[in-house]
Structure 1
Amino acid sequence: MANTIPPGLEYLAQLDQILVKQKQEVFELLSGCEMNNKYEIKNSMGQQFLMAKEDTDCLTRQCCGPMRPFDMSFFDNSEQEVLHLHRPLSCASCCCPCCLQSIEISSRGTLLGTVHQEWSICTPINGKFTIRNVSGDEVLRIQAPWCACSCGGDVDFKVLSLDGTQVVGKITKQWRGLCAEAFTDADSFGMTFPLDMEVRTKALLLGALFLIDFLFFERSNQ
């Protein structure tokens, strides 16, 4: 049933805030060779309840950079996979409405929904995102800021109701300090949403956070 909680995601029902911290890879920092990203997902008290690991081959990471397709698995503290993200390969052009990004979110082989970048003639660079359930129906929208440059402060992406009139949550790229921002792309995020939001929708928002990270804040190593 649509309102049942996917196995392994029950803990999300207790949360109204999630913290995501990308782990720094020393080899990547020293060599400039892009490694598979790894993330710690924590509650508001800083207690880790999920670990996310990217799975892409070395050639794809080096050639495609932040626009690369990827699979990402989320493991609970018992090392059981409870969530999976798949980002398909798509051409990247901020000025072309046919070159837009998306990501699929599933739980133990069952599709939960998708996140889609939406092109706008007013904001073709940053645009908007829609959260869609497994039936393809839009349930939420995400509005990117006019400037997503993390320079001296946090960057907020507003989670909006379907009609766009109400802010129901927020995805925040957290400022880590000048040195950290300059020398590494190991980002930190915070996400807030209503406690009573449906668990599947919370999982979709988590997927949206990772798509936003790659689109706006993941840098190509030179």
Structure 2
Amino acid sequence: MEYSGDAHPLPNYVHPVPQPPGYIPPPTIESMPAPQRPAGCPPGLEYLTQIDQLLIHQQIELIEILVGWESNNKYEIKNSLGQKVFFAAEENDCCTRYWCGPLRPFTIKVLDNYGQEVLTLNRPLKCASCCYPCCLQELEVQAPPGNPIGYVIQDWHPLKPKFTIQNERKEPVLKIEGPVCHCKCCSDVVFEVKSVDETHVVGKICKQWTGFLREAYTDADNFGIQFPMDLDVKIKAVMVGACFLIDFMYFEQK
């Protein structure tokens, strides 16, 4: 190779390969590798076939801390090893967030590590008062988007938070029961997941204590979800939706 002046060739230099538009890089080691999808499993939910617990971390929004303006919620969903499984983001307008607060209707889209939407969670506008049992909270879970796979329905109770998890045919599959007081200081708040007859505890949704400063100045919460390993993958996905509904109902700042 001929060259002049002080310039020297760069050994073993490889030019970057251009990528096509819309290219999404493969997940890193921080992400959970995708297992093989079994028959009947909606696309993207194969991650849930090999785990019995999830960690959900709500991201802290700086604008909420500085000016107190509620922004769309965003969550990272990880396995017990801390590997990323999903990312969830609320889609809402500022007027709905401001005027309706934690009662607001929402659409939450859940994406896998490749950026593909695998779950859509829809919450309509409903009353939250125990004095109106005809207008209780509910949530529809779709996978893939547009195809309902289950529902979370609030059960009326004068004191305790109670919910029913239903399958796509609106048949009851599990029950959720929370404590009378969900405002506990320095401790976790546990919502037990029970069998339909409420005689056996099969899992839990736990709101984790995150410390005085974070609890006082933000509404960014951490949750843990536990369920049986052999539970239908669709019902596992509906439990994720139940966790988001519980967060909005009981732990979002008014």
User: TM-score with structure 2 length normalisation?
Assistant: 0.83
The reply to whether residue 204 of structure 1 matches residue 241 of structure 2 is: no
**Rounded Cα–Cα distance in structure 1 between residues aligned with 2:76 and 2:131:** 34
> What is the aligned partner in structure 1 of residue 150 from structure 2?
113
Residue in structure 2 matching 1:178, options 188, 197, 212: 212
* Letter paired with 1:43: N
Residue in structure 2 matching 1:47, options 54, 79, 83: 83
Q: Which one has more relative contact order, counting CA pairs under 8 Å at least 6 apart?
A: 1
SS in 1 for 2:89: strand
* Letter paired with 1:142: I
* Letter paired with 2:46: E
> What is the aligned partner in structure 2 of residue 28 from structure 1?
64
* Letter paired with 2:196: L
The reply to whether residue 71 of structure 1 matches residue 107 of structure 2 is: yes
SS in 2 for 1:90: coil
**Residue by residue, what CA displacement relative to the aligned partner does 1:139-194 show, whole Å, maximum 9, x if unpaired?**
00001111111311000000000110000000000000111111110000001111
Residue in structure 2 matching 1:150, options 172, 184, 199: 184
CA radius of gyration, larger in:
2
**Rounded Cα–Cα distance in structure 2 between residues aligned with 1:21 and 1:192:** 15
> What is the aligned partner in structure 2 of residue 101 from structure 1?
137
Which structure 2 segments of 5+ residues have no match?
1-38
Deviation at 1:127, TM superposition (A): 3.1
**Residue by residue, what CA displacement relative to the aligned partner does 1:29-88 show, whole Å, maximum 9, x if unpaired?**
101111000000000011111000000100000000000000000011110000010000
SS in 2 for 1:72: strand
Q: Return the structure number with greater strand share.
A: 1
Moved more, 137-146 or 125-134: 125-134
User: TM-score with structure 1 length normalisation?
Assistant: 0.94
Matched length: 215
| 8 Å contact kept, 1:52–1:73 | yes
**Rounded Cα–Cα distance in structure 1 between residues aligned with 2:226 and 2:246:** 15
Which structure 1 segments of 5+ residues have no match?
none
SS in 2 for 1:65: helix
> What is the aligned partner in structure 1 of residue 49 from structure 2?
13
The reply to whether residue 140 of structure 1 matches residue 140 of structure 2 is: no
Q: CA RMSD in A?
A: 1.0
> What is the aligned partner in structure 1 of residue 94 from structure 2?
58
**Rounded Cα–Cα distance in structure 1 between residues aligned with 2:96 and 2:225:** 29
SS in 2 for 1:24: coil
| 8 Å contact kept, 1:95–1:125 | no
* Letter paired with 2:125: L
**Rounded Cα–Cα distance in structure 1 between residues aligned with 2:245 and 2:135:** 15
**Rounded Cα–Cα distance in structure 2 between residues aligned with 1:125 and 1:88:** 23
**Rounded Cα–Cα distance in structure 2 between residues aligned with 1:170 and 1:144:** 10
* Letter paired with 1:19: L
Residue in structure 1 matching 2:193, options 132, 136, 159: 159
SS in 1 for 2:182: coil
| 8 Å contact kept, 1:25–1:35 | yes
Identity of aligned residues (%): 55
The reply to whether residue 80 of structure 1 matches residue 120 of structure 2 is: no
